[in-house]
Amino acid sequence: MALRLISSGKVRELYDAGDDLLLMVASDRISAFDVVLGEPIPDKGRVLTAMTVHWADTLADLAPSHLVTADPAGLPQDVDALAGQEGAAPIAGRAMLVRRADMLPIECIVRGYLAGSGFKEYEQSQTVHGMPLPAGLRQADRLPEPLFTPSTKATEGHDVNISFDEAADIVGKETAVAARDMCVEAYRRAAAAAERQGIIVADTKFELGFIDGQLALCDELLTPDSSRFWPADAWAPGTNPPSYDKQPVRDWLESSGWDKQPPPPALPDDVVAATAQRYRAAYERICDRRLDDWYGA
């Protein structure tokens, strides 16, 4: 059967592959401030896919995932026809065949450190998602325990942080407890593994869904797009540590005078190169593998 496009997001395309299977293709597109930029980041889609496969395998004894295969030999034959639609980058290395899932309508975020919107809330009320924390914590401080901090999935605009009780109202108490326990343990394991490689996982976002009645890890797993990775040797509480993600893009856009409304300015070549290097470094340091050994090199 011909692959039918189901949806196209800021970063991914999703195709119907038949037999309750989907083809998920990660592009090299990058967005900032909710706007997709015009310049692709070389190998970004391969990094997102390779890291997701790595963590699906690493966490397989904890939870099932929707992953079937990322091996090009196991993908639908029609996949080669997508190359022209997807742009210059080859499909190999950027595509995963996955099982359909009944997705939870919440984002499952786990925070191990005080950063981002969590730090902003703490500054105002000494809480994160309404949960009280000890006084005197600084930006980038390690939290006493990892926190499960869900949010809504916004179809437009920004996701909204919600409490655990609000998440339970949306998905049911039993499912909310199962999602929390799965995500917190997945975070603990991933954070410990990354720490051995000299990387701090400050926080990460999981997406969960039911497959054959069982809660499973879906979409991307512990990538630079879904996580905040800090080099351990640059971490210092009270500061905003550098991160392995699109920070060079955000920094340049902030200094460019852009009003954060479309169309965005064109990214300079050095910003594109610096961002590509951060994505590659995230994969190679955290997963302890060479990106050149992943499909599509």
pLDDT tens for residues 50-85?
999 999 999 999 999 999 999 999 999 888 777 655
Angle at 116 between CA 266 and CA 185, to 5 degrees: 115
Rounded CA-CA distance 272/30 in Å is 10
Confidence class of residue 276 from pLDDT cuts 50, 70 and 90?
A: very high
Q: Tokens at residue 274, please?
A: 């610096």
Judge if the upstream peptide bond of residue 40 is cis by omega within 30 degrees of 0. Answer: no
Q: Which residue is associated with the tokens 């000299």?
A: 198
Q: Which amino acid is at 175?
A: T
191: Cβ contacts below 8 Å, ≥ 6 apart? 112, 146, 200, 201
pLDDT in tens, 186-233: 999 999 999 999 999 999 999 999 999 999 999 999 999 999 999 999
Q: Calculate the alpha carbon distances from 81 to 72, 76, 94, 229, 259 in Å.
A: 13, 10, 14, 35, 38
Rounded CA-CA distance 67/97 in Å is 6
Rounded CA-CA distance 108/115 in Å is 16
Rounded CA-CA distance 81/185 in Å is 40
CB distance 95 to 49 below 8 Å = yes
Q: Do domains 7-100 and 102-234 have the same CATH topology?
A: no
**List of E strands, the chain:** 4-8, 12-18, 21-26, 31-32, 35-36, 67-69, 95-99, 102-103, 106-113, 127-128, 131-132, 142-148, 151-152, 199-211, 214-218, 227-231
The DSSP element (H or E) to which 160 belongs, if any, is: none
- Residues 145-165 have a mean pLDDT of 88
Rounded CA-CA distance 153/162 in Å is 11
Domain ranges within the chain, ordered by starting residue:
7-100, 102-234
Q: Is the dihedral of CA 263, 264, 268, 272 positive or negative?
A: negative
Question: Which top CATH class is 7-100?
Answer: alpha beta
Residue 155 confidence (pLDDT): 66
The DSSP element (H or E) to which 207 belongs, if any, is: strand 199-211
Confidence class of residue 1 from pLDDT cuts 50, 70 and 90?
A: low
* pTM greater than 0.85: yes
Record: fold of 102-234: D-amino Acid Aminotransferase; Chain A, domain 1 (3.30.470)
